[in-house]
Amino acid sequence: MAQFTGTHVLITGGGSGIGLACAKLFLEAGATVAIAGRDQKKLDDSARRLGGGERIVSFAADVADPDQATRMVQAVETKFGKIDILVNNAGTNIKDRSFRQLTPEIWQKLIRTNLDGAFYCIHAAFPGMLARTNGLIININSIAGKRATPLGGLAYAASKFGMTALGIGLGAEEKDSGIRVTNIYPGEVDTPILEFRPTPVTDEHRQRILKPEDIARGVLYVASQPPHVSIPELIIKPVSQAYV
């Protein structure tokens, strides 16, 4: 029997990059997976490529909208009966990242997508997990949530620092309820978000950095731990990237 047979997983930002890689590994390990994102066609195309038959479904939602996030979580719970693992992976960035370039509109866009979106999904999935006294929430954060460097930009770092506090604080509050929370902090990863870099990323640079599968393996490692084991934080970075 596959390790995650009978486990139901919801992955936001699941149509590409890290989310798609997580969906692939969970499916291979026997889980039932829902991938979510804003583009239904992209999600459907990704689901078809993954295979998995009835064990893979997709739901379109903008997690920055609390009503859409709630409806999406409720739809997954209706389809699966429960959500055992929530992977908060949806996120974005912008090209004009310095403080001098920021506007209130850009600031709000990043906070709403990267931080508020994670909160809305957790808030919607939490009651079911609490009722069962069991659940795992994995937040795909960023090294920018530990180090506010110019690489990610100030607004992105602020959203990710907030995500850090959300995960650590929730895990501390719920340590006796059976709900575990893990923040994973990837360094540079070769995903579509690189398209928003101020300076184009070369092929040589892409070869040196992490691949989505590297983070997905970390997600499955966290998810494979027994219920009495909690991993609050996990940093994964390419060897070539400094962590200072």
Residue 233: exposed, middle, or buried by beta-carbon count in 10 A (0-12, 13-18, 19+)?
middle
At 179, phi and psi to the nearest 5? -100, 125
Given a contact cutoff of 8 angstroms between Cβ atoms, the answer to whether 184 and 136 are in contact is no
Counting Cβ atoms within 10 Å, is residue 146 exposed (0-12), middle (13-18) or buried (19+)?
Answer: middle
How would you class 67 by CB atoms within 10 Å of its CB: exposed for 0-12, middle for 13-18, buried for 19 or more? exposed
Beta bridge partners of 183: 139, 233
DSSP 43-80: HHHHHHHH--GGGEEEEE--TTSHHHHHHHHHHHHHHH
Helix (H, G, I), strand (E, B) or coil at 242: coil
51 within 8 A of 23, measured Cβ to Cβ: no
d(CA 63, CA 163): 14
| Annotation marks residue 185 as catalytic | no
Q: Which of 120, 156, 185, 243 is the catalytic position?
A: 156
Residue type, 24: K
> Which active-site residues does the annotation give?
156
